[in-house]
Chains A and B, each alone.
Chain A
Amino acid sequence: MKICITSRGTDLFSQCDPRFGRCPYFVIVDDDTMKYEALENPGPLAEGGAGIKAAQALTALGIDALLTGKMGPNAFSVLNAAGIKVFTGIYGAVEDTVSQYRQGQLDLIEDATTSAQHG
């Protein structure tokens, strides 16, 4: 499974970032092999609609699940349309969030957890 985590840095030891639209990096982890790659989030450069821009960037990458802190309605509608599952409630380093995911500690959301224009 390909899992994307919102992150402050570019590797598994980086602090995760609870923001989706304006986190600096996405770390994309294969949870079978723990191989990963980092991708710069285009969202922070946006004048508006950062979450939409960030979500759109992820839809082309064949990601199964996104782990983040919270999620607004616009970004969620894009990810939902692309069939990417969204889990919220991450904390700690990127590799910790993968454990949190495996142990079922994160919330699979079916709706936005915050209003638009939040981060």
Chain B
Amino acid sequence: MKIAIASGKGGTGKTTVAVNLALSIPNSQLVDCDVEEPNCNLFLNKELEPIASSKITVPNIDEELCTYCGKCSQMCRFNAIATLPEKVIIFPTLCHSCGGCILDCPEHAISGREKCTGIISRSADMEDHPRLYEGVLNIGESMASPVIKELKRWIEPDAVTIIDSPPGTGCPVMTTLEDTDHCILVTEPTPFGLHDLRLAVEMVKIMNIPVGVIINRSEEGNLIIEEYCDKENIDVLMRIPLNKRIAELYSQGIPFVEEMPEWKERFSDLFEKIVNEKVLA
């Protein structure tokens, strides 16, 4: 069972939900796919050890063979190769590793070169609860998806998996959501929250993943998210109130289920509900 915690808007509480949910499920593993800024471990303080690196293939040009015809530059839609009158410049951080330039070069001057773009780590102690897996994109790199793909290869198939997604609706998020059983979208009851929730719902529907919503910093009388969810026939799975105690614990880096056991029960019930829905479907 893989449950992804995503959101359109950043800063709505994905990590809060992911960490507290993982802590409320026995024998769970938590996978932090926000490889540009993984932050689950701010709340868990697990000792992590590196277990793998993510590698991509980028072009390498033999300038002895190159005739500066520019075919490689023309075919690269991300402009990772610039051909000047007497020089070729490669921008490996823009390369999406499609290999098209290698195939297109009439002089066979381009070969592939492996490049490490990120590091995968996991709990040094496999008795940790939850066992934490995290990927970190190397500084200066811009391609998050290959790191996320490598990280997801390490997911233990038989344990309940909670996945903390990056924000937004771009490639890294879709890479994170691929092959998950359920997506929880965390939002806040603001016009920005609603706007980006709509985008995220559209994405999840295209990907055909069952979806539910958690409203964080929920305030009584503010129904902006509920009205939308009603119309779209989406379950509001939980409301986390704008509560001083929760905010204080957050500011101290303490997952609130640790100090407020009634919430552990609520998260555990929420998990049961998602599991039952999957069984019924």
Binding site for B on A (CB under 8 A): 46-50, 52-53, 55-56, 59-60, 74, 77-78, 81-82, 117
Given contacts A52-B91, A81-B87, A81-B89, contact A47 B82 (CB under 8 A): no
Binding site for A on B (CB under 8 A): 73, 77-80, 82-85, 87, 89, 91, 94, 142
- A91–B174 CA distance with the chains assembled, in angstroms: 42
Query: Which residues of the partner chain B approach A56 to less than 8 Å between Cβ atoms?
Result: 73, 79, 82-84
The smallest C-beta distance from A77 to any residue of chain B, in angstroms, reads 6
- A117–B143 CA distance with the chains assembled, in angstroms: 13
**Contact with B89, one of A48, A50, A53, A77 (Cβ below 8 angstroms):** A77
**Contact with A48, one of B83, B87, B94 (Cβ below 8 angstroms):** B94
A49 close to B89 (CB less than 8 A): no
- Chain A residue nearest to B79 in the complex (CB): A49
The smallest C-beta distance from B77 to any residue of chain A, in angstroms, reads 5
- Chain A residue nearest to B77 in the complex (CB): A47
- Chain A residue nearest to B96 in the complex (CB): A48
Given contacts A49-B91, A74-B91, contact A59 B79 (CB under 8 A): no
Query: Which residues of the partner chain A approach B82 to less than 8 Å between Cβ atoms?
Result: 52-53, 55-56, 59, 78
Given contacts A56-B82, A59-B84, A60-B85, 7 further A-B contacts (CB under 8 A): A49-B80, A49-B94, A59-B85, A78-B82, A81-B84, A81-B89, A117-B142
B85 close to A53 (CB less than 8 A): no
- 26 chain-A/chain-B pairs, Cβ below 8 angstroms: A46-B77, A46-B78, A47-B77, A47-B78, A48-B78, A48-B94, A49-B78, A50-B79, A52-B91, A52-B94, A53-B79, A53-B82, A56-B73, A56-B82, A56-B83, A59-B82, A59-B84, A74-B91, A74-B94, A77-B89, A78-B82, A81-B84, A81-B89, A82-B84, A82-B87, A117-B142
**Contact with A78, one of B77, B80, B89, B142 (Cβ below 8 angstroms):** B89
- A50–B183 CA distance with the chains assembled, in angstroms: 34
Given contacts A56-B73, A74-B91, contact A48 B79 (CB under 8 A): yes
Query: Which residues of the partner chain B approach A77 to less than 8 Å between Cβ atoms?
Result: 89
Query: Which residues of the partner chain B approach A81 to less than 8 Å between Cβ atoms?
Result: 84, 87, 89
The smallest C-beta distance from B214 to any residue of chain A, in angstroms, reads 32
A82 close to B85 (CB less than 8 A): yes
Query: Which residues of the partner chain A approach B142 to less than 8 Å between Cβ atoms?
Result: 117
Query: Which residues of the partner chain A approach B89 to less than 8 Å between Cβ atoms?
Result: 77-78, 81
Q: Of residues A49, A55, A59, which shows the largest number of chain B Cβ atoms within 10 Å of its Cβ?
A: A49
- Chain A residue nearest to B91 in the complex (CB): A74
- Chain A residue nearest to B83 in the complex (CB): A56
- A55–B73 CA distance with the chains assembled, in angstroms: 12
The smallest C-beta distance from B63 to any residue of chain A, in angstroms, reads 13
- A5–B175 CA distance with the chains assembled, in angstroms: 41
- Chain A residue nearest to B94 in the complex (CB): A49
B79 close to A46 (CB less than 8 A): yes
The smallest C-beta distance from A53 to any residue of chain B, in angstroms, reads 5
Query: Which residues of the partner chain A approach B80 to less than 8 Å between Cβ atoms?
Result: 49, 52
- A52–B78 CA distance with the chains assembled, in angstroms: 9
- A47–B94 CA distance with the chains assembled, in angstroms: 11
The smallest C-beta distance from A47 to any residue of chain B, in angstroms, reads 5
- A41–B87 CA distance with the chains assembled, in angstroms: 21
Q: Of residues A46, A52, A74, A82, which shows the largest number of chain B Cβ atoms within 10 Å of its Cβ?
A: A52
The smallest C-beta distance from B72 to any residue of chain A, in angstroms, reads 12
